[in-house]
Chain A
């Protein structure tokens, strides 16, 4: 056994093809034990496909998947110590809630009585004890979701797969369930692989996030790394709001790149690998890391005219027309602290970047 033994799930160069359509191309992911791991990406990027391959419902076209160091390609789904919370819950409609939750244990060899006892405990964990005798159709969406969770957790799997389990819930319930899920994950110590297309949900809940797009892994890292150091345009654009500016590189010295955007504004930022003089690349700057001011800073400012202020409660979003250049969005938090002044539409102002706010993206 090698170093991959510590990994709960190790996906190595996995490829999935349906006929001549490639759903997943060369995915390599190491998911650690006890980790809350999230697969994040837009609809159709292959998240469900990857989960189904781990659960055993799809075969792997090329490459391999290892569970705690063991290759699982030849194990049928019922022999994998992995349980799934399905996207549509898939609760057995003809069984009571208690029977649903006890099903996995019964199939694993527990007696009906033991299974019912443990199922009862699981229902307590998700606070649904009083619904034990009901059929799934008699529960609300949120209750069904919790039954599905209890059912998948009852047999104590080594890895729990959750396929967009919260997408059918309203915002409030969703937020509550996010906290509850995170709590259950810590409590049980089970490795969670959580699928979502909601970047905010991913940032809130995960230890680490894998961002996927069109069957490819774009970036793997914790929330902070993904948000602050996006590796490419896709990640920068998909996670949170950002200003993407097309720039040309004038000079690269001592790890700093001097860039120029249309309208002849100069900006300097940290260089990244693969950046050469003359290259046309992009800068990603988060709106909350920009400040409006009367005074500019050499190499970190853009001058322009305020086009619009949008009040969104916690923040005020200002759209700036940069002189001879693009529109840029600035977000100012709606507090009295720091004496921030509001620039009315039509007024002239500088947009100043915080140090390290601009990130160069090569592709």
Chain B
């Protein structure tokens, strides 16, 4: 790239970059720092302390948060697992199924939910549950999460699969492997980085979801996001910052894992 067209030479480039980074990350930093504040105040720093973390685990609201965390993590785990399995099957059919008639529509239908406003999905899902007469609760959250996690799990899996030539499966079948054996011994291991990456993405999306969950959860069943929201409505306390910081840390770990999974090469 010549120096003239290098984006870094544009007037205000440095300023815009810094502004964007500040807007994006300053709130996160503030929350993280103040979660270690000894004071009850949200704005005045009074020294380092872990008291709000202790409060989360043993304080008056700890039972509620523990239950919410348990719900959140179990739902995320089950939803991500099932969504990944469904997405893997779908990707296999769409990428490897030859040119069947409904291929393009299938691909569209599977990825469309990512582009639909979440509030629309939330309302639609609620109406659906009502019309089939499901009682709202843990199960309705789980079913909704499985559904909206599928496209997120699907995209990295499909991307990975498109990069795998089908001559490998042909070679396997030529060497006496049945279709199922070729899938299990050849295609699946080669797809694994995409599958792990899809699973982690689905897990994060499920863990983080608020809007749909809030619509379809029954009274008394909370996930972490809805519990935090409920708590904040009664007034902001530093223990929320502690929970948020822990969630943030967890997300960073997951995203990092996902990144390395997608980069991982099991062929070297």
Knowing A104-B176, A155-B176, say if A90 contacts B267 (CB, 8 Å): no
Knowing A92-B186, A93-B190, A94-B266, say if A104 contacts B167 (CB, 8 Å): no
Whether the pair A104, B175 counts as a contact (CB closer than 8 A) is: yes
Whether the pair B173, A88 counts as a contact (CB closer than 8 A) is: no
Q: How far is the CB of B196 from chain A (nearest CB, A)?
A: 14
Q: How large is the interface on A (under 10, 10 to 19, 20 to 34, 35 or more residues)?
A: 20 to 34
Q: How far is the CB of A153 from chain B (nearest CB, A)?
A: 11
Q: B151-181: which have CB < 8 Å to A?
A: 165, 167-168, 170-178, 181
SS of B interface (majority)? helix
Q: How far is the CB of B261 from chain A (nearest CB, A)?
A: 15
Residues in B neighbouring A56, C-beta threshold 8 A: 173-174
**B171, B181, B185: most-surrounded residue (chain A CB, <10 A):** B171
Q: How far is the CB of B34 from chain A (nearest CB, A)?
A: 47
Q: How far is the CB of A183 from chain B (nearest CB, A)?
A: 23
Q: A148-190: which have CB < 8 Å to B?
A: 151-152, 155
- Among A55, A108, A135, point to the contact of B176 (Cβ < 8 A): A108
Q: Would you call A311 an interface residue if the criterion is a C-beta within 8 Å of the partner chain's C-beta atoms?
A: no
| Chain A, Cβ-Cβ closest to B192 | A94
Whether the pair A93, B176 counts as a contact (CB closer than 8 A) is: no
Q: Would you call A107 an interface residue if the criterion is a C-beta within 8 Å of the partner chain's C-beta atoms?
A: yes
Whether the pair B171, A90 counts as a contact (CB closer than 8 A) is: yes
Q: Which of A77-85, A234-242, A262-270 contacts B (4 or more CB under 8 A)?
A: A77-85
Knowing A107-B181, A135-B268, say if A57 contacts B176 (CB, 8 Å): no
Whether the pair A103, B175 counts as a contact (CB closer than 8 A) is: yes
Residues in A neighbouring B170, C-beta threshold 8 A: 57, 77, 86, 90
Residues in A neighbouring B173, C-beta threshold 8 A: 56, 76-78
Q: How far is the CB of A13 from chain B (nearest CB, A)?
A: 25
Knowing A93-B267, A94-B266, say if A86 contacts B171 (CB, 8 Å): yes
Knowing A78-B177, A83-B175, A155-B176, say if A90 contacts B268 (CB, 8 Å): no
Complex Cα gap A94–B171 (Å): 14
| Chain A, Cβ-Cβ closest to B169 | A90
Q: Would you call B189 an interface residue if the criterion is a C-beta within 8 Å of the partner chain's C-beta atoms?
A: yes
Residues in A neighbouring B190, C-beta threshold 8 A: 93-94
Q: Would you call A204 an interface residue if the criterion is a C-beta within 8 Å of the partner chain's C-beta atoms?
A: no
Complex Cα gap A88–B181 (Å): 22
Knowing A84-B174, A108-B176, A151-B175, say if A135 contacts B167 (CB, 8 Å): no
Whether the pair A103, B172 counts as a contact (CB closer than 8 A) is: yes
| Chain A, Cβ-Cβ closest to B175 | A104
A88-122 vs B, Cβ < 8 Å mask (1 yes, 0 no): 10111110000000011001100000000000000
Q: How far is the CB of B133 from chain A (nearest CB, A)?
A: 47
Interface of A toward B, CB cutoff 8 Å? 55-57, 76-79, 82-84, 86, 88, 90-94, 103-104, 107-108, 135-138, 151-152, 155
Q: A92-B168, A94-B267 are in contact. List 15 more A-B contacts (CB 8 A).
A: A56-B174, A78-B173, A78-B175, A78-B177, A83-B174, A83-B175, A86-B171, A91-B171, A92-B172, A92-B186, A107-B181, A108-B176, A137-B268, A152-B174, A152-B175
Interface of B toward A, CB cutoff 8 Å? 165, 167-168, 170-178, 181, 185-186, 189-190, 266-268
What are 22 A-B interface contacts by the 8 Å CB criterion? A56-B174, A57-B170, A77-B173, A78-B173, A78-B174, A78-B177, A86-B167, A86-B170, A86-B171, A92-B171, A94-B266, A94-B267, A103-B172, A103-B177, A104-B175, A104-B176, A107-B176, A107-B181, A138-B268, A151-B175, A152-B174, A155-B176
